[in-house]
Structure 1
Amino acid sequence: MDLSDVMFTLYPYAKSLHIMAVLSWMAGLFYLPRLFVYHVEQAENVQDAIPIFLTMEEKLLRIIMRPAMYVSWAAGLFIVLTPGMVDWSYVWPWTKGASVIAMTWFHHWLLLRYRDFKEERNTLTGRQFRMMNEVPTVLMLVIVVSVIFKF
């Protein structure tokens, strides 16, 4: 049994792991900007709320989002490197790849915004965070349409 055979055998497991990790990562990408909205708009109205928001945001990033992003990438790379699974002559693997890179950039952008909150230098408004909350939705649409329709 050569490496290609092993990869082909493990492919459904990698694909399942990839889907589960992406679901977890996306949940965080949707929820963290919403937490930032509440952090900006409500934290100062409630006594001792700021440390609670910071704890929630930090744990979401560190315990859920970061590991889910790493597993999404690792399983996704395994999938695309499995011989015969991706036809690179189509557009869809490239649109999906570009969208995943953009999603990773967005993840890091959120991490920087968390650091701004932690260091008490956030300048963005709740409205701006609401608008940024649409970024993962648009990227998800591109990824899902690309993978399902394989144009």
Structure 2
Amino acid sequence: MKVHLHIEADKKDTEVHIYTSEFNPEIEQLMNILKNSPQETLIGYKGADIYVLKIDAVFSVFIEDTKVLVQTDEDEYECKLKLYELAEKYANKFIRINKSTLINIDKIHSLQSKLLNFPQLILTNEVSFNVSRKYLPVLKGKLGLINGGAGK
């Protein structure tokens, strides 16, 4: 097995590419090791306290009164990063559903149509959010409800 490391200063995230002639137990083991690497985290603030939040525990990230808030099952925390920075950094975990809200894709319970054709997204913690028509096609694509949105 050959291992190559390329350091590029403009890269924000680490990418791993595996080139092989066949899928075998060695490749499967390597993929499992990579997938089960330490969880991604972000820093949340509550008063003077600082918390390390696991991305998998985050339900949503939203803007309220010019502050970026991170919602977990236990509480809400302030985040110093901008919403667009979080959207870029965690694009594999979060999807934008309106101008001021990101949702953890793994925490989606249902997508429901409401009056005046404004869909609502219900999370597994039973919190609901309005979905903007602008972001609905991309959301549906990520959920596999239509073609064309999964790669955006």
Structure 1 or 2: more strand by fraction: 2
Q: How high is the TM-score relative to the length of structure 1?
A: 0.28
Structure 1 or 2: more helix by fraction: 1
